[in-house]
Structure 1
Amino acid sequence: MAASSSSLLKPASPIDIFNLPLYEHYLVIDTRPLEDYERGHIATAVSYPHDTAASSRSEEEREASLVAFARDYSSQFYRPENPNPLVLYGDRAESELRHTHWLADKLTLLKNQRSRVSVYSHEVSSVREKEAKESEETFDPFEEFCLTVIDKVKEIWLLDCTYDSFASEYPFLCGRVRFEEMFPLPHQITKNVFMGSRVVPMSSHALSKMGMSHVIISEHQDIDMEELKNVHVLKCPVKDKNDENMLPCWEASCSFIDKAVSENGRVLVFVHGRSRSASVILAYLMKTLEMNFESSWTHLRSKCWHLIDKSLVFEEQLVQWYRELHCLTLTEY
C-alpha cells in the first residue's frame, strides 16, 4: 500500500493510543465494517466504515458520505473534548487502508485549504466566511466539524495494528465499553511498566481491569492495603521531600520490576506522585535497559510529555547513580 500524501497522517502504536488517554474523549474513527464495529470497538470510537462499493462511486458521492458522517457526529457530540490528535483505526485490509488514507487526505485538504470538503465543485466557500456570520445563523453541525478540524487538529494518527491486536492488549478499553464505565488510566512507559498518578484509582477493581500484577508505592502513602491484596506490592521508604535519598528505592524497584517482567507481569509505579514515580522509572530504564539519563528522559517524555517536570525527578542523583553503575568518569559520561 503506497503511503498517503497526507502530511497530517502519522503511524501510532497501541501504547500511543493508550496514553492519550481515551477517557478524555478524543475523536476516534473506526473504519471497519459496521457489523464489526457493533460487535466491539475501542472505547469512545465512532463508526465511519469503508464502502465496499467505493470503487464504483463518484468522488462527489464519497464526499457526500463524509459530509453526512461529519454532520451526524457533530449533531450527537458537538465537538470532542480533545480534537488533537484525530485517531483512525481498522483491520488494515487493503480496501480499508485505501478508505482510511482517502479520509486522512480529505481532512488534510480541509485543514490546509481552510475550506469545506466540497460535495460539488462550486461549493468551496471559506468556513471563515461562515464563522463571521454564525452569530446570525443557526447551528450547522457540518460547519462545526469543519471548524474543529481547521482550528484544532494538528495530527491524524493511524493505529499501526489491527483492532483485534489492540483489544488483546487492552481488553478493558474495547468491546462495548460505556463512557461512564471508564476511569483515568496510568501512562504506559514500556510493555510492562506503567506510571500512575493521584487520579488513577488504586482499587482492586481498577487494578484487575488493567491487568496490573505488581504495584510500587511509598510506605507513607494513604492507600487502603485491602485494595492491593491481589497484587504484589513493594513499599519504598521514601518521604515526600525534595532532598530525599532515592537510591535505596531505585535499587529495590529495579529488582522488583525485573522480576515482574520476567513473569510477564504489569507494574504500576505510584510513589507519592508523578515526579518520584518518574524517577523510579528513569532508574529502571537506566539500569536494566542501560540508557543514560538523557535517553531515558527522552523516552519517558515521549510517553507522557506534558506531565513531568525535569527539575523534580532527581536528575543529579540519577546521573551520579548511572556513573557508579557503569563505572564512568564525569568526562566519559
Structure 2
Amino acid sequence: MKRRKFLKNASLGSAVAGLTGLHHLEATPIKPEIAEQPFNLDYAPHFGMFKNHAGDDLLDQITFMHEMGFRSLEDNGMMGRTPEMQEKIGNHLSKLGMAMGVFVLDKGGNSANTLAAGKDEFVEIFLDGCKRAVEVAKRVNAKWTTVVPGDFQRNLPMDIQTAHVIEALRKGAEILEPHGLTMVLEPLSDTPNLYLRTSSQTYMICKAVNSPSCKILYDIYHMQKNEGHLITFMDMCWDEIAYIQIGDNPGRKEPGTGEINYQNVFKHIYDKGYRDILGMEHGNAHPGKEGEKALLEAYRKADSFM
C-alpha cells in the first residue's frame, strides 16, 4: 500500500514500514530528533536515496523526504523523464512546499561534443539543450540547470579553448536569462580529460560571460579532490556561487564518512548568508534501511552547528 501521509497516531517507525507496504516486518525506528524538523540549511536528497523506506514510487519518495525534514529535491536526470512525470513531480513539490534543485542540462557539453572545440555543431547541440531545459524548468519550477563544458580539445591552446567556452555559454545565457533559469557550471574531478577543473577557472569564465544565468556550482566533493582549501576558495569565488553540492571524500558518501569537517563547512556557508539549496549528490555509505537511517543521523549531526 502506498501512502502520501504518515498516520498521526502511529509511531514514525511503523509509518515508515507502511510506506514500503511490508507491514509484517518491523521497521527500524527513526528517532524523532532526526525526523520531521527542518534543517538549518536546505539540503536536497535525490531519488533512490530513501527507497528502502519509501518504496519505488517517486512521489512517495518525495513525501518521505519532506517527513524527514527536507524541503528540496535534486534530480540530475529530470530531463530524461516524460513531461507527464515532470508535471507530477513539480505539482507534488508545490503541494508540499518544497523546491526543485538542479537538473543536468542534457548534452550540455561532454566528451562527444565539447564546447572547448569551438565547433558550430557542438554549440548547436548545447543551445538545443538550453531551449529544452527551459521547458523542463517550467514544469518543475526549477531555477538551476547543471552545465559541464566537456573535455579538453588538446590540439588547441588553453586560452583559445577558454574563448570558445565563453562564447558558447554567452549564447546559452541569452536563451536562459529571459526565463530566470541559471546554468551552473560544475568543475569536476572525475577524469583529468575534463576542461573545467577548478573553482577559480570557473569564476573567471562566469565573470567573462557576465550574465545572471551563468554561475558556479560548487561541488564540495570535487573541489576537495581537485584543490582543497574549501572555505578559502569558496570565499574567493563567493559572488559567483549560485548552488552547492555535497559529498565526503574519499568515497563520495554522506558527511562524516570521509575527511571533510562538514559541520565547520556548513556553519561557514550559513554564516555567509547562503539560504539556497545544497544538493546531496552522493551515495549512501551503507545499504538498506539502516544505511538510510545512518544518512539521516549524519545530516542531523553535521547540521547541528548553531
TM-score with structure 1 length normalisation? 0.27
TM-score with structure 2 length normalisation? 0.29
